[in-house]
Amino acid sequence: MKIEHLGIAVKDINASVQLFEQLLNTPCYKTEEVATEGVKTAFFHTGESKIELLEATHDASPIAKFIAKKGEGIHHIAFEVENIEAEMKRLAALGFELLNAIPKNGADNKLVCFLHPKGTNGVLVELCQEKP
């Protein structure tokens, strides 16, 4: 439906929240820890879309691994979908590799599913659907 948010991996979320508040001239409206993903998140409104900052909470977190390999920067792009299960089925049938077989709980009241970046030109894609 639209780009719901861009996820940006950062080393120090408190410093980055200050930086993005200055950059975007808007306050961070929500911070949330997603323990199952090993991340702390912080969200900003930017028009129709959002910016999600992600900091690892431990060394085995996917964000810690990403930063170790590539450094800070854009981590994923999230597309909003109306029916995540139908979209997962559609993409799996086309040969895309889903990183989770059933939708899981993400930050910001969303059900989410990630697609393996090897099938999407190196871009980690997140599908997200607002929870009812």
Q: Does the footprint of Zn ion cover residue 7 (CB under 5 A)? A: yes
| 79, 102, 116, 126, 131 from 2: Cα distances, Å | 6, 22, 20, 12, 16
Among 17, 51, 67, 78, binds Zn ion (CB under 5 A): 78
Euclidean distance between CA atoms 48 and 71, whole angstroms = 27
CB-closest chain residue to Zn ion: 7
Q: How far apart are CA 93 and CA 41, in angstroms?
A: 32
Select from 77, 88, 86, 92 the least CA-distant residue to 113: 88
Could you tell me the smallest distance in angstroms from the CB atom of residue 36 to Zn ion? 13
Q: Whole-number minimum distance, CB 46 to Zn ion, in Å?
A: 14
Q: Taking CB under 5 A as the rule, which mask of x and - marks residues 48-67 in contact with Zn ion? A: ----x---------------
Q: How far is the CB of 98 from Zn ion (least distance, A)?
A: 15
